[in-house]
Structure 1
């Protein structure tokens, strides 16, 4: 069985000792992908005070950045957006952010019959000051 590691410069650097993705046979397992900008490490839409403390975040900007970063990792592995089969999304404020996240999901996956399976989980925090992260599995069909 073929196995390969994917590390992509067009996605943010992982915050630990792990790759962006691992391909095993025709399955592609993505590590948790957050909304950080790959060039600046900044999080889209975050507002900080003069001491660098997070004042507020923009869940729409973060969701779009997560999907952009997921797409970059998929493409680096030779996969396409349509190859996603399962997505687990973690939100740090599920009651506040789910409606917006769900609307953005519908933009990216307008046809429920062709969308990947999805689980959305509310968590108290993520390893960096982000509000959303996605863990994905894709099937490479070529």
Structure 2
């Protein structure tokens, strides 16, 4: 079975948290923004294959499809590889661009995670974090 957990694609300093939209087309934030400097390395959150490396709406985007069925989307990133490249967790997949940053006037990395068409909170699949589970109180 493929590892269900991912690692942060950069040192984890969250600039903006995930905000699940109420509907498919509703407003929200379909990922997390992580503070990072322009030109800093962006790492693959897990093993997988680069399934997209190009520009969308003027910003660089890299998508890594993981064996566990999850897809990580990283932007704004200048890709360092090509579609079809196999990557390991922690491999550099590109460098952060300033243009297209969600954090206007500062650089940050947007990391989105999808399972099929569903957007997930990246912190829920992050090794060491995972979803919060409440356990019964023992006396």
TM-score by length of 1: 0.31
Q: Which structure carries more strand by proportion?
A: 2
Please state which structure has a larger fraction of its residues in helix. 1
TM-score normalized with structure 2 length: 0.31
